[in-house]
């Protein structure tokens, strides 16, 4: 996707503070952190949102969830953390490339706004 900012980060057209990378997954610090640790985890493949995940993406999504756990451990989030996915208009998704927010380092609140 030529006009997708996260595809551009994945292809290194746009710089980011990269935390983890492999063939399928990229993790980088959010440009506007909402917690002491705020990392975005994305598939390198362009999937527009959680609502666009298909059964063919099962293995990829499984990898992402396990990788989030490992990234959280490396970031020192031994007391817990929050994984967030905003999906679509009502979910307040601003970047239309599937991403998971890993938030930690402070006590989270519930319910979210």
Least distance in angstroms from the C-beta of 82 to Zn ion:
23
Residue range at the interface with ligand 5GP (CB under 6 A); choices 50-58, 74-82, 91-99, 102-110: 91-99
Q: Among residues 43 and 93, whose Cβ is nearest to ligand 5GP?
A: 93
Interface residue with ligand 5GP among 93, 98, 100, 104 (CB under 6 A) is: 93
Q: Which residue is nearest to Zn ion (CB)?
A: 4
Measured between alpha carbons, how far is residue 96 from residues 72, 74, 108, 109 in Å? 24, 27, 25, 25
DSSP 50: G
In the numeric block, the tokens 């959010």 are attached to 30
93 binds, among ligand 5GP, Zn ion, none (CB under 5 to 8 A by kind): ligand 5GP
Measured between alpha carbons, how far is residue 84 from residues 15, 41, 80, 101, 112 in Å? 23, 10, 13, 5, 10
The interface with ligand 5GP within residues 20-59 (CB under 6 A) comprises 28-32, 40
Dihedral angle computed from the Cα positions of residues 45, 62, 57 and 29, in that order, rounded to the nearest 10 degrees: -20
Return residues touching ligand 5GP (CB under 6 A): 5, 16, 28-32, 40, 86, 92-95
């Amino acid at each position: 996707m030529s006009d997708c900012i996260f595809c551009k980060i994945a292809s290194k057209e746009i710089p980011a503070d990269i935390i983890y990378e492999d063939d399928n997954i990229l993790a980088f610090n959010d440009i506007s952190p909402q917690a002491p640790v705020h990392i975005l985890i994305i598939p390198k493949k362009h999937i527009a949102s959680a609502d666009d995940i298909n059964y063919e993406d099962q293995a990829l999504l499984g990898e992402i969830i396990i990788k989030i756990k490992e990234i959280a451990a490396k970031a020192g989030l031994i007391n817990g953390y929050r994984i967030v996915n905003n999906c679509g208009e009502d979910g307040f998704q601003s970047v239309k490339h599937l991403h998971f927010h890993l938030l930690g380092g402070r006590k989270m609140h519930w319910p979210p706004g």
